[in-house]
A = this chain, B = another copy of it.
Amino acid sequence: MRTAFFPGTFDPVTLGHVDVVRRAAALFDKLIVAVAVNTSKEPMFSLEKRVEMLKRTCSGIANAEVISFEGLLVDAIEKYGVVTVVRGLRAISDFEYEFQMAMMNREINAKFETVFLMPSPQYSFVSSRMIKEIVSLGGDVSPFVPGIVMDEMGARR
């Protein structure tokens, strides 16, 4: 059985993330969607809430499992017997950062592999960071996030 690992902060989960989850789940026997502790000072949602929202968002994808995740990626891939890490690739600046991270991880653990998937064009420009900016200015982000995220934001007010 081949397990892939899709790490991220998912703060919040976007339709671009969901697109990558769906694509990656079709390529491997199991996909672990791993929500990382957000080290930034002001996360939009708590770790627990982010895990919960992802679980509900991915509930229809049978071989996807959502976990929370702390520490080094190289340790996690050992623990879960992962064959590859999965990353969505949006843009040039992404590519550079992802490449650096993947290479350093591979140097630490030669078994470390990363595959990059492309989201659909309509999601290729969606980023959690910009969603947070739009929300902070009172804008509507419903075209970019699953309904469950909209519900949670509504419940807060």
Partner of A100, one of B89, B116, B127: B127
User: Per DSSP, are chain A's interface residues mostly helix, strand or loop, or mixed?
Assistant: mixed
Chain B interface: which of A44-52, A53-61, A132-140?
A132-140
A residues 88-131 near B (Cβ < 8 Å) are: 89-93, 95-97, 99-104, 106-108, 113-118, 120-122, 124-127, 130
Contact between chains at A125 and B99 (CB < 8 Å)? yes
* Interface residues contributed by chain A, number (CB under 8 Å): 49
Q: Which residues of A does B touch, CB under 8 Å?
A: 2, 23, 26-28, 71-72, 74-75, 83-84, 89-93, 95-97, 99-104, 106-108, 113-118, 120-122, 124-127, 130, 134, 137-140, 143-144
